[in-house]
Structure 1
Amino acid sequence: MKSLKNSVQLMGRLGKDPEVKTFDNGKSLTTFTLATNEKYTNEKGEKVEDVQWHSIVAFGKVGEIAGKYLKKGSEVAVEGKLVHKVY
């Protein structure tokens, strides 16, 4: 059974076309940004839209498929794990 620890599902739209990088050893890495949004009414009765941007990294065949079929604005669902890196 798949572990529920550090499991994430997001649905949103791509902010730019995926970037596929292929390394000398033949392995690939694909990156793209995903926007998720939430609309709600605040305590003052104002409508608010909150947009969060997520950096997505896909490896191997999954990344190659994303690079081939996804484009800026595509609506997608992704499943994976969270990794926080500070640069």
Structure 2
Amino acid sequence: MRNIALSINVVEATLNGTIISGKGTFGKNNDPIEFTSSKFLENVIKPNATIVAVGMLTSNVVDNFTALSLKITQAGVVPTGTLINSISVLGRASADPVVSATKDNEDITKFSLAVKAGKDITNWYAIAAFGKTGEILKNFVVKGKEVALSGRIGLSTWKNKETGAQCSKLELTADSVTLISSKQ
């Protein structure tokens, strides 16, 4: 779990006692997300509103599909059309980055990042980067290297070639990188 700021288009919001729960979409692909919040945000979190929400993001994989949930701690109304999707993490590369080409023949650099979230808890992030950020990661990151990344969260979806099932995973698309230490 990590604190994240997202712009959410609220589709449904229900007050049940002291808890608001609901569903919405985020990002340019209108990826689905569920959320909860305390009652004090009931004047902000309403159906058809676009809000900026800050909170703890969790993901749960069910039948190869990633379901996202955000426990909102702060929220505010934003102008329609404003998109906010920002996350920053600090961790260690779990493997050397791998470069491949997209279907548009653009280089994409991918690797996993291990981020400590507590004494005995490690969160794993699938990282993707393009352009100069991808080049930096490809040329300077190796397994064990500590890096700080900032970017946006999205769902990467694909069809399983063997089963035909729709699959997804949470992916951080890095916009900036800071190299922290030498390989450990």
TM bin (shorter chain)? 0.7 to 0.9
1:54 equivalenced with 2:133 (yes/no): no
d(CA) in 1 for partners of 2:95, 2:120: 20
TM-fit CA distance, 1:85 = 2.9
TM-fit CA distance, 1:23 = 5.9
Q: TM-score, normalised by structure 1?
A: 0.76
Between Structure 1 and Structure 2, the one with more helix by share is 1
Q: Percent identity of the aligned residues?
A: 35
TM-fit CA distance, 1:24 = 8.6
State the structure with bigger RCO (CA 8 A, min sep 6), 1 or 2. 1
Report the equivalent of 2:176. Answer: none
TM-fit CA distance, 1:5 = 1.7
Between Structure 1 and Structure 2, the one with more strand by share is 2
d(CA) in 1 for partners of 2:147, 2:104: 29
d(CA) in 2 for partners of 1:64, 1:74: 16
Report the equivalent of 2:144. Answer: 73
Name the amino acid aligned to 2:130: F
Q: TM-score, normalised by structure 2?
A: 0.38
Q: Which residue of the other structure, out of 31, 47, 56, is the alignment partner of 2:110?
A: 31
Report the equivalent of 1:12. Answer: 91
User: Greater CA radius of gyration, 1 or 2?
Assistant: 2
Q: Could you say what the CA RMSD is over the residues aligned between the two structures, in angstroms?
A: 2.2
Using a 3 Å threshold, how does the CA distance of structure 1 residues 23 and 85 change in structure 2: closer, same or farther?
closer
Q: Deviations over 1:35-71 (max 9, x none)?
A: 00133xxxxxxxx410110000001121011101100
Unpaired runs of 5+ residues, structure 1, are 40-47
Once structures 1 and 2 are overlaid, which stretch shifts more, 28-37 or 60-69? Answer: 60-69
1:21 equivalenced with 2:100 (yes/no): yes
d(CA) in 1 for partners of 2:106, 2:88: 25
Unpaired runs of 5+ residues, structure 2, are 1-81, 158-166, 168-184
